[in-house]
Structure 1
């Protein structure tokens, strides 16, 4: 029964991709930005779904198992990041009618170098995270007994095909459906845990009997520094991530982008607590040694096959909603930042030709990520390091360009280069500076370079 539900779900999303491609996709802008026609609710759903992935579902339950209520902080951080988008750049960037974040960098500072640097760091990181999503899908399908690479290949081909057919339209429609399924699934899992334990108070009593400490029941139990080092990098990437801005650029206008960001952020903050409850319940009810198995344990032990199928579809939904976001974002970099702007292969007015090119690159990137995940999984971590380098290098030029009119191109370029290098040094040496992640202290150095070089070069400009 569980397998049947999952198969029906995959056929459904494939159908959505085919239908979207036939009905809505006429050119590159339709494919990459849904024709810039997203309303508030669709835009909010796809923004929230971009963050609400396998990491928040599986990782959130693991954090709940290990740290209690403070395990919700990763999801809450994601929600706060999108809320901050609403009040900083969401409306402003949408009104500029851009395609990518590097579009803004070149528009603000001038020159192709800054576009290329930002695009490369972002593209490599997106491919690495996409490959990690392939492995997440494999682990989720392992609950069904589909072990090995078969499940990963099937799930990956599904999101590659529907995204190749329908682009951001398909991704947005399926994101909305996937968010509803995923939110319902984790909420149902949390409800079953509370029903089994007899409510929050009984759950707390069972956990106390197992010897958990008092800070397990505090939202601040992780400690101020741990929460800060979880919160800040997540917010930094959200404020500059191409996968988020692509959704904002697809909104009807700046007001829609801003309102959708507020709604999407609130949705994420709310749903982030459900996986946490599931993890806490698994710790109270099971003899598990590892929190990583808490979500699968709840599915296998507390649910009948129909509900289990819904929950598993919820996990796959969360993974796919993140994967299709990464896939369309990576395609935007290749087509807009490299194919059109850097190599001048085509003009943007030739949208029908560019549509085929976009579809081809979407398929190629998806297959490349699948091959990396299955053949060279060891390099995924290395690719994802670009995520840290991108945040450390690009965050200051983007936000600084918005907030400081006197920032110069030289300051932005120096900031990206130095910030990325310092972040790479921190990754390779595992340098510990007050326990802060590499992107935090690298961004602070990037900020200093940004200000100093901009001040020095202002008169020349």
Structure 2
């Protein structure tokens, strides 16, 4: 990269860090620190939600899939968009009834404290792995841009995100996400797409130069498309990072319409990134590592200055999702485990300190895992496999039915999580079968145990839903 591009990226990182530090001034209590005071307007909410769902895997992963499979590379992010739309249409009204900070806290209101604990553990595994995904993503980009060792790039990129997240919590995340949403929209839609098409010779060159299968929406394979919808559509509906953003909306109406709009934005983002990957197939037919498709395409397609802005937009997409998953993971541990089971009388000020210390621990752990795994799509599969298979059934049943009891929810989460993790260990971490087995076990457990009388009517005290 030229000097001007490096300067733009450094300036962008400095602005993001500055905005995040400024946001720390508003984090005066736990509600402000964890859910931005539940006060976001429609535009702010839309920008933050879109930014958090479209991160490193969505950007780098979709360009990679477009390079390998053509337009059917949209299905990973398409499944994410579908889950977000379903969440907005079917669940936001019910979720808004619960004045809570986490999905696990809602499960305690609906079931009991044991269910809260096991669900918090499962959701923590998911958010940790999601954070690892973003660390790999930003490390991969810096590796291509600067030529540094990947491990060093992960440490540097991750450190910037952790700095502003630790200081300001959700307000810092929110303020930086607004900037990042604008930057990623301009960089990907208005700059990278047209310039990539120009470099490849236009749409005409794509139709004549690409294999015919690249224009088939099913080219990636029906089994893989099914896997994406099982992983991401279900996962989006019960993810703590998603729910925590819902809690920041000013009104249920803002939550509903902003969520649906973010899902539609995800579909547009998927199409654009897949086309960029298809352009790269023309321009870079023998790329060594397809995970670097987007970054390499940007390096050869964009003029100085524009290159720096576009690469900053990709960094924006990754950093926004990373900060969202970090704060979600920190909230689960500090609110649902530490405060609920170990320090129930902790002051608000000390609770914020615990949250910040937890965030530091998450940062160190996720960077180490990212250096170890180094494959963005593999890490994403593990994250959503555990979330979708273990939590989807008890959460959805808890929202729509009063007949499911606490015992059923507790054992549903325990047994399905064990089946999923065991299946991934035996069949491989990219296998779909463990998720299906986990969902079946979860469903059967819920049905059977809900109709077996328990000694305590745990669910009678649950909040009225339905």
Q: Deviations over 1:353-378 (max 9, x none)?
A: 3223222322332233224434x558
Corresponding residue to 1:206 among 206, 209, 212: 209
Alignment partner of 1:99: what SS? coil
Task: Check 1:108–1:179 CA distance in 2 against 1; reply closer, same or farther (3 A cut).
Answer: same
Supply the distance in 2 between the matched residues of 1:263 and 1:78 (Cα, whole angstroms): 13
The question of whether the paired residues in 2 share the 8 Å contact of 1:126 and 1:384 is answered with no
Q: Deviations over 1:314-360 (max 9, x none)?
A: 1211111111011100111122101221213435xx32332232223
Task: Check 1:430–1:98 CA distance in 2 against 1; reply closer, same or farther (3 A cut).
Answer: same
The question of whether the paired residues in 2 share the 8 Å contact of 1:82 and 1:265 is answered with yes
Task: Provide TM-score, normalisation by structure 1.
Answer: 0.91
The question of whether the paired residues in 1 share the 8 Å contact of 2:144 and 2:296 is answered with no
Indicate the residue corresponding to 1:334 in structure 2: 333
Indicate the residue corresponding to 2:180 in structure 1: 178
Supply the distance in 2 between the matched residues of 1:93 and 1:7 (Cα, whole angstroms): 40
2:414 is equivalent to residue 442 of structure 1: no
- The alpha-carbon deviation at position 432 of structure 1 amounts to 11
Indicate the residue corresponding to 2:395 in structure 1: 398
- The alpha-carbon deviation at position 431 of structure 1 amounts to 7.7
Task: Check 1:379–1:285 CA distance in 2 against 1; reply closer, same or farther (3 A cut).
Answer: closer
Supply the distance in 1 between the matched residues of 2:205 and 2:54 (Cα, whole angstroms): 29
Indicate the residue corresponding to 1:131 in structure 2: 132
Alignment partner of 1:186: what SS? helix
Give the total of aligned pairs.
Answer: 450
Task: Check 1:228–1:105 CA distance in 2 against 1; reply closer, same or farther (3 A cut).
Answer: same
Higher deviation after alignment, 77-86 or 250-259: 250-259
Task: Provide TM-score, normalisation by structure 2.
Answer: 0.91
Alignment partner of 2:96: what SS? helix
5+ long unaligned stretches in structure 2? 458-466
1:194-343 matched pairs, under 5 angstroms: 194-207=197-210, 212=211, 214-289=212-287, 290-343=289-342
Supply the distance in 2 between the matched residues of 1:83 and 1:157 (Cα, whole angstroms): 32
Indicate the residue corresponding to 2:419 in structure 1: 422
The question of whether the paired residues in 1 share the 8 Å contact of 2:102 and 2:332 is answered with yes
Higher deviation after alignment, 269-278 or 89-98: 89-98
Alignment partner of 2:451: what SS? helix
What CA RMSD, in Å, does the superposition of the two structures yield over aligned residues? Answer: 2.4
1:102-141 matched pairs, under 5 angstroms: 102-110=104-112, 112-141=113-142
Task: Check 1:372–1:70 CA distance in 2 against 1; reply closer, same or farther (3 A cut).
Answer: closer
Corresponding residue to 1:31 among 12, 33, 47: 33
The question of whether the paired residues in 2 share the 8 Å contact of 1:85 and 1:239 is answered with yes
5+ long unaligned stretches in structure 1? none
Higher deviation after alignment, 100-109 or 42-51: 42-51
Task: Check 1:410–1:135 CA distance in 2 against 1; reply closer, same or farther (3 A cut).
Answer: same
Corresponding residue to 1:89 among 72, 88, 91: 91
Corresponding residue to 1:456 among 418, 436, 452: 452
Q: Deviations over 1:298-320 (max 9, x none)?
A: 11211112111112111211111
- The alpha-carbon deviation at position 163 of structure 1 amounts to 1.0
2:62 is equivalent to residue 60 of structure 1: yes
